[in-house]
Structure 1
């Protein structure tokens, strides 16, 4: 993560902590004022006063979560292509330079050319050619290795 994304995420966390503290203080003040009023009032009326959070605390919470999301998205690495041919083409064109992280190191899952195995495998076996070579070897009196000569 860059310092910009870290600072935006930190600012969002600070906003969220303030919103949580404000919500806690609001509920604590509301519960103490309700307890004081209920001790003064007669016991015959038992109506529950349920109040919701003030709108400024709710807005601060939503804004804080949005700022945290923006900070995390700014710090996330670039998405990789879904199609294998696009991914392999990028590896062949850019090499290790295309997979450097922000701190200058190569990603841990960089393996190089993904087609290396296909390019280094042997070609197809020509059975007819091998059969012809074997027939010529037998005509010439070929003897198996390790077999006694007669």
Structure 2
């Protein structure tokens, strides 16, 4: 799909360039003819009228801009979910295969499982359990365990 969007965008840019050049040529030709008419009309006393841009140049400009917008929209990657948990779920289900772009390579912002740090962290510390174990240890005499010699 990338080559289609690039070709549509390129064709739109060519049309837009042609429309700009045509508008420039029209204004240059009009200014030359207006100067000639002004010199003629200064003898006759009438003022020249202002010419607007021809309809075909205006239509070409609008079509070119529409084509450029269409090509850019077709070339955008798929939108990611707003909720991070949905995106992370897709990573866990599909892995790298779910993030292969139009060029066949893994996207640059693929980082793997985003929950890996949460899944590999140690469990929560139970302070009350540790306090009971310490109290039991103190009641038993509180002697440190001998270090094993290896």
Unaligned runs of 5+ in 1: 146-150
Once the two structures are TM-superposed, the CA of residue 140 in structure 1 deviates from its matched residue by 3.1
Unaligned runs of 5+ in 2: 146-150
The corresponding residue for 1:81 is: 81
The corresponding residue for 1:70 is: 70
2-side partners of 1:35 and 1:27: how far apart?
12
Once the two structures are TM-superposed, the CA of residue 136 in structure 1 deviates from its matched residue by 2.1
Aligned pairs, number: 145
The corresponding residue for 1:99 is: 99
The corresponding residue for 2:50 is: 50
Q: Find the residue that maps to 1:42 and give its secondary structure.
A: helix
Once the two structures are TM-superposed, the CA of residue 47 in structure 1 deviates from its matched residue by 3.0
2-side partners of 1:95 and 1:81: how far apart?
16
Between 1:30-39 and 1:100-109, the stretch displaced more is 100-109
1-side partners of 2:63 and 2:22: how far apart?
14
Q: What's the TM-score, normalizing by structure 1?
A: 0.86
Once the two structures are TM-superposed, the CA of residue 83 in structure 1 deviates from its matched residue by 1.6
